[in-house]
Structure 1
């Protein structure tokens, strides 16, 4: 009976969202806000269909959030249709490095000096809450690979990169708590957890993305084979890049993002006219004729754009399903959060003060317009990635007392981010786009 009720609820939710998507796009609401309400409704605060808490099914929560973040990172990489040499990459690289360091440092200080956390737990809190979320930030990300908007490109690239660059600080925090080997004077953390894991993650993902793309395109162009099942190509590349990176002690999140970027970059290089080819493929995809699709898939000129379009379309659908599952789960967890450990002044400190300070430091001297810089600072959305890092730390032996405090701080930040950013994203982005159109 319980399974039947869950089936009815999920079916109604998905159908209602499909029917009302165009209406929601015009309202100051996000789908994540609705998912949170549904999660609360099925918790003991409502229908009591679910009664698990944030520390009772930590392995399941870690794996669920891990998979959803991986799918979202690969999609983000596929959307970034500019080569690595393009100057647009300077902004996300600055945000994922300088801004990340400033954010972790400020959160660490606040956690140690103002919240009374041990230094290791304060660093861990910084690693958990510093990365912006690639899943819940879809409304402010690049919509298509041809989107040349600097704001959207910066936020998409930052969300893809900093989910990996936050990992060294999570490991440092665990090490300072005695839960991870840092080596004498921190040499192992610096050499392995920072330099090797970051560099190897990017290299492994880029190499596998290029190799897989070249193989598929070769078989299609030269032999008219390997046509169809592009969803398997997407899932296979995500799993392959992530698995190889983990086996070599590199960061899998960075590997998956780099694989998406490399695949898109390969498509750009191998398409004679990338933008014209992309438009031709999108027009063909709108026609439900399998023969047209198969012809486009093996066409020497359009095969790269067709592959990228098919893979990205499948990934975006999978990402939306994953978002539903995780955000409903977050809502269902809220009844059991030890809210007495939440310091609500910490949320605006992070989302407004620390975020704007870190963005200002990261973009100093970049020539970024003030309006764009303020919007980048505001849309530092926290979400599913933070929940993953938190569950990762708990499953690596984080003491229960510290886990309770960090759960309360992290989930209060995530819920507040879902609400305030969900309300503000539609009017702010609409005003930004009107202003951009007027300038053009």
Structure 2
């Protein structure tokens, strides 16, 4: 165990020293950490059993912080008024991805109830901002496009979770007909979680602002407090039988719209901590889950994953942006850059714990295989396609400017 941890520490040091250089290539942090975890698993230098237990803790903590952070940085009023693209992709595109994904999954899940196909589609619907980092930080991509991808990937996992919980409860009811416990459980999760998050997020925002205006705290301590607030929302929901992840997400929304950017360091501090946890979670996925998932990768599951990546999301995004000012190339760009990541793997782990193992285990293997395949495909295409798309948009803007008449061209001569 000590040898494996030492290698992980040295690997992280090397990555940080080369991070800027690597950001311009095809090797992303999630891809490298998943791959390094897989290599250590094959070498036997780290015990996989202990890694599985640690994965739950690290992945949950990472997702709590990232859900809170992404939601906190979203101005709900501005998004409704100005950010038409991400709003359409969230409100229209996400449900469409689940519906189209369910239809696509049915032929590959023969012998299973329709609910299982819907659950598989919902697990494959969330996208990961960490896996799309090479795109959203690439200045060649227009700012509006980068902002839309950031908002959408930051919010869709929180919005997909209620659907996953609903389908999980229906799957439990299907396995135990006549039992109302699953429906009651789902109702509590979907109601009490948001209530707990709303209360903690709103009150927390007011208290943070009051302390800041009275100079009772410092920026460094505010960052620690933000992490504690996110965890408080998660734990408070658990106390009242609500869902902690939904609670953390809603708490972030309320908190961010109360403080409205006045506690800027909170976001920077929380993002740094969240990124470290995210790297750790991807490493543990590669160490604890990918080796077994690769062994269970069949032609049918591979086909379903590729359909999800190449057909389901692109089609859902294309339809959701119909009627908007997004060009066909932009719609295709949005449709492709929806990588599956931490949320897909962790939500699948939660599902396995709540339904029959024989049904839940294949879903977990499907989700994990989708994560590493997405990490590879989106990783190697992020920089090249971002550059091509940026160059295309620059040419389009240049052509539009040439067609636009200048002041001298439109000026009417004085008589």
TM-score by length of 1: 0.77
Residues 1:416 and 2:410 are matched in the alignment: no
How far the C-alpha of 1:38 sits from its partner, in A, is 0.8
Gaps of 5+ in 2: 399-415
Distance 1:198 1:90 in 2: 27
Q: How does 1:253-268 map to 2 (within 5 A)?
A: 253-268=245-260
Residues 1:353 and 2:311 are matched in the alignment: yes
Tell me the alpha carbon deviations over residues 295-342 of structure 1, each in whole angstroms, 9 at most, x when there is no partner. xxxxxxxxx2xx32x211221221221122111122223222242545
| C-alpha contact 1:383 1:414 (8 A) present in aligned 2 | yes
Instruction: Give the match for residue 37 of structure 1.
Output: 35
Residues 1:233 and 2:235 are matched in the alignment: no
Distance 1:113 1:198 in 2: 30
Distance 1:148 1:69, change over 3 A: farther
Distance 2:138 2:208 in 1: 25
Q: How does 1:273-288 map to 2 (within 5 A)?
A: none
The alignment yields a C-alpha RMSD, in angstroms, of 3.4
| C-alpha contact 1:73 1:134 (8 A) present in aligned 2 | no
How far the C-alpha of 1:57 sits from its partner, in A, is 7.1
| C-alpha contact 1:79 1:143 (8 A) present in aligned 2 | no
SS for the counterpart of 2:68 is helix
Tell me the alpha carbon deviations over residues 337-360 of structure 1, each in whole angstroms, 9 at most, x when there is no partner. 242545222222110111111112
Instruction: Give the match for residue 409 of structure 2.
Output: none
| C-alpha contact 1:142 1:153 (8 A) present in aligned 2 | no
How far the C-alpha of 1:51 sits from its partner, in A, is 4.7
Instruction: Give the match for residue 329 of structure 1.
Output: 284
Instruction: Give the match for residue 374 of structure 1.
Output: 332
How far the C-alpha of 1:114 sits from its partner, in A, is 3.1
Distance 1:238 1:396 in 2: 24
SS for the counterpart of 2:172 is coil
How far the C-alpha of 1:24 sits from its partner, in A, is 0.7
Residues 1:48 and 2:40 are matched in the alignment: no
| C-alpha contact 1:132 1:383 (8 A) present in aligned 2 | yes
| C-alpha contact 1:352 1:378 (8 A) present in aligned 2 | yes
Instruction: Give the match for residue 95 of structure 1.
Output: 89
Distance 1:321 1:172 in 2: 31
| C-alpha contact 1:341 1:404 (8 A) present in aligned 2 | no
Residues 1:388 and 2:346 are matched in the alignment: yes
SS for the counterpart of 2:339 is coil
Distance 2:176 2:87 in 1: 26
Distance 2:151 2:339 in 1: 13
Q: How does 1:136-175 map to 2 (within 5 A)?
A: 136-141=131-136, 149-175=143-169
The correspondence for 1:126, drawn from 99, 116, 121, is 121
Distance 2:271 2:387 in 1: 22
Distance 1:188 1:31, change over 3 A: closer
Gaps of 5+ in 1: 269-273, 275-303
How far the C-alpha of 1:150 sits from its partner, in A, is 2.9
The correspondence for 1:243, drawn from 229, 235, 247, is 235
Tell me the alpha carbon deviations over residues 275-308 of structure 1, each in whole angstroms, 9 at most, x when there is no partner. xxxxxxxxxxxxxxxxxxxxxxxxxxxxx2xx32
Deviates more, 1:157-166 or 1:355-364: 157-166
| C-alpha contact 2:238 2:244 (8 A) present in aligned 1 | yes
Deviates more, 1:421-430 or 1:258-267: 258-267
| C-alpha contact 1:137 1:381 (8 A) present in aligned 2 | yes
Distance 1:148 1:79 in 2: 20
| C-alpha contact 2:118 2:167 (8 A) present in aligned 1 | yes
| C-alpha contact 2:92 2:320 (8 A) present in aligned 1 | yes
How far the C-alpha of 1:409 sits from its partner, in A, is 1.9
How far the C-alpha of 1:406 sits from its partner, in A, is 1.9
Instruction: Give the match for residue 405 of structure 1.
Output: 362
Deviates more, 1:78-87 or 1:104-113: 78-87
Distance 1:358 1:19, change over 3 A: same
How far the C-alpha of 1:225 sits from its partner, in A, is 1.2
SS for the counterpart of 1:133 is coil
SS for the counterpart of 1:364 is coil
Tell me the alpha carbon deviations over residues 382-405 of structure 1, each in whole angstroms, 9 at most, x when there is no partner. 0111111111111113223x2342
Tell me the alpha carbon deviations over residues 196-241 of structure 1, each in whole angstroms, 9 at most, x when there is no partner. 855765565455334323222222323x312341232111210122
Distance 1:126 1:12, change over 3 A: same
Instruction: Give the match for residue 413 of structure 2.
Output: none
TM-score by length of 2: 0.81
Instruction: Give the match for residue 114 of structure 1.
Output: 108
| C-alpha contact 1:179 1:396 (8 A) present in aligned 2 | no
Distance 1:207 1:435 in 2: 46
Distance 1:29 1:58, change over 3 A: closer
Distance 2:321 2:75 in 1: 22
